A = this chain, B = another copy of it.
Amino acid sequence: MKLLVVGSVAFDAIETPFGKTDKILGGAATYITLASSVLGVDSGIVSVVGGDFPQADLDMLTGRNINIEGIEIVKDGKTFFWSGKYHNDLNSRDTLVTEVNVLEHFDPKIPDSMQDAEVLLLGNLHPGVQLSVLEKMKNKPKLVILDTMNFWMDTAWDILMEMIAKTDVISINDEEARQLSGEYSLVKAAQKIHELGPKFVIIKKGEHGALLFHDGKIFSIPALPLEVVFDPTGAGDTFAGGFGAHLAKTENFSFENMKSAIIVGSALASFTVEKFGTERLKEVTNQDLKNRIEEFKNLTSFEVTL
């Protein structure tokens, strides 16, 4: 199946305890489709960049078989730019600069070549934009995966609710799940979020892993304990990309296969954090991924005989 990804293609400038970068390639759709390309899934991006966006980066995406017909280039506009500084624990960060630029008036256009995508992954953007993409698809996708954040809960609640009602799988972090549901217990939070629409609820817990809830069942996976987390930027998007791409590739939306998809997403995200930006993710081979999944297996498998 084809994977259609809507989200930012952007510049980031990142500072961590280990160093800092100038403006480098970033954006949710970038990480998502790069993750997808490791699995060899046909994916396409719907996004917008400015005239300042390097042709080399577009070529890099195309070279990885990512359809960029849906990336609008606003010649006299500037690309979305985010700059942030991570604290020593790498679990929290300060945003230094956010220049929305061409994303402010983003009117997504779906190229004909991607109208038949069966899996739609809506990266974190204004829920109104996410909704408009869904409405513009001539064929209703078989699976809608939504990433969102607390900012939209604060500023666009009603339309976010409308978007969530049309979502099959929602992916949010623990604090966002608590805000969205008003429940502290993540089990109760997931129950309330199910009632809003999504049959599958993924709750991301950063260094503590992730949970998947569906129909009274729960799957829990720890994050791979890493000696050094170099740069967490893009980890969540990489996770979503690996997740969505595995589902598109296997064409199976069962709970059991969603568990596999979460492992694939977690494994890919564990590469992303090893270097700045997309640097490490771009190098990952299918064999690297297989080895990392084996590490997850070793990390979590056990037998008990009482």
**Given contact pairs A290-B306, A293-B306, A222 touches B225 in the complex (Cβ within 8 A):** no
**Given contact pairs A208-B205, A220-B299, A227 touches B260 in the complex (Cβ within 8 A):** no
Contacts of A188 in B (CB 8 A): 227
Query: When the two chains form their complex, are residues A221 and B306 in contact, meaning their CB atoms are under 8 A apart?
Result: no
A151 proximal to B (CB < 8 A): no
Give residues 274-304 of A contacting B (CB, 8 Å). 286, 289-290, 293, 297-304
Measured in the bound complex, the distance between the Cα atoms of B293 and A306 in whole Å is 10
A131 proximal to B (CB < 8 A): no
Residue of B nearest to A258 (CB): B302
Query: When the two chains form their complex, are residues B303 and A226 in contact, meaning their CB atoms are under 8 A apart?
Result: no
- A220 in complex: contacting residue of B187, B222, B264, CB < 8 Å: B222
Query: When the two chains form their complex, are residues A185 and B220 in contact, meaning their CB atoms are under 8 A apart?
Result: no
Contacts of A299 in B (CB 8 A): 218-220
A 207-247 binary contact with B (CB < 8 Å = 1; else 0): 01101000001111110011111000000000000000000
A113 proximal to B (CB < 8 A): no
Query: When the two chains form their complex, are residues A208 and B208 in contact, meaning their CB atoms are under 8 A apart?
Result: yes
**Given contact pairs A184-B88, A302-B260, A304-B263, A209 touches B228 in the complex (Cβ within 8 A):** no
A125 proximal to B (CB < 8 A): no
A186 proximal to B (CB < 8 A): yes
A259 proximal to B (CB < 8 A): yes
A39 proximal to B (CB < 8 A): yes
Contacts of A217 in B (CB 8 A): 298
Query: When the two chains form their complex, are residues B303 and A260 in contact, meaning their CB atoms are under 8 A apart?
Result: yes
Query: When the two chains form their complex, are residues A211 and B225 in contact, meaning their CB atoms are under 8 A apart?
Result: yes
Query: When the two chains form their complex, are residues A227 and B187 in contact, meaning their CB atoms are under 8 A apart?
Result: yes
A89 proximal to B (CB < 8 A): yes
From residue A241, how far is it (CB to closest CB) to chain B in Å?
A: 15
- A264 in complex: contacting residue of B184, B211, B260, B304, CB < 8 Å: B304
Query: When the two chains form their complex, are residues A302 and B226 in contact, meaning their CB atoms are under 8 A apart?
Result: no
From residue A159, how far is it (CB to closest CB) to chain B in Å?
A: 30
A 64-79 binary contact with B (CB < 8 Å = 1; else 0): 0000000000000000
Query: When the two chains form their complex, are residues B185 and A226 in contact, meaning their CB atoms are under 8 A apart?
Result: yes
**Given contact pairs A220-B299, A264-B304, A304-B263, A225 touches B186 in the complex (Cβ within 8 A):** yes
